[in-house]
Amino acid sequence: DGGGDGADGSREASSWRVVWRVGRRFSQFAELDHQLHRRLGAEMQRTGGRLPSKFRLPSSLEREGTERMDALDTYLKTLVASDELRRSEQLVYFLAANTPSRRRLWREAVFGNA
């Protein structure tokens, strides 16, 4: 399930039984991609996770925004599908699991309540 668009331009993506809203600038996605390639390059190659291009052919801004959000949603789903990438510090912090309560929610989403 791809989720829906938020009023603030963020995108929701559901995974398991948890819905995550990731409100990030494209430059933050680019930094995540750089860090993951630097630290976990082999796994990034294996998954085929590719950050979509920042630049597009001229089109309506609304359509371009929707297309980019869909591409970024697919990119994140690809990363989260990999056990190694999903557990990486870089992705966990990117998804804002950087407080004890958020880490607990993340662990429950990734590993279940066990």
Q: What is the 3-state secondary structure (H, E, C) of the chain?
A: CCCCECCCCCEEEEECCEEEEECCCHHHHHHHHHHHHHHHHHHHHHHCCCCCCCCCCCCCHHHHHHHHHHHHHHHHHHHHHCHHHHCCHHHHHHCCCCCHHHHHHHHHHHHCCC
The region of weakest confidence among 29-38, 73-82, 104-113 is: 104-113
pTM for this entry: 0.60
In tens, the pLDDT along 58-97 reads 566 666 667 788 889 899 999 999 999 988 988 888 887 6
Q: Is the pLDDT of residue 2 over 50?
A: no
* Domain boundary assignment for the chain: 11-111
111 vs 16, higher pLDDT? 111
**What would be the CATH architecture of the domain defined by 11-111?**
2-Layer Sandwich (3.30)
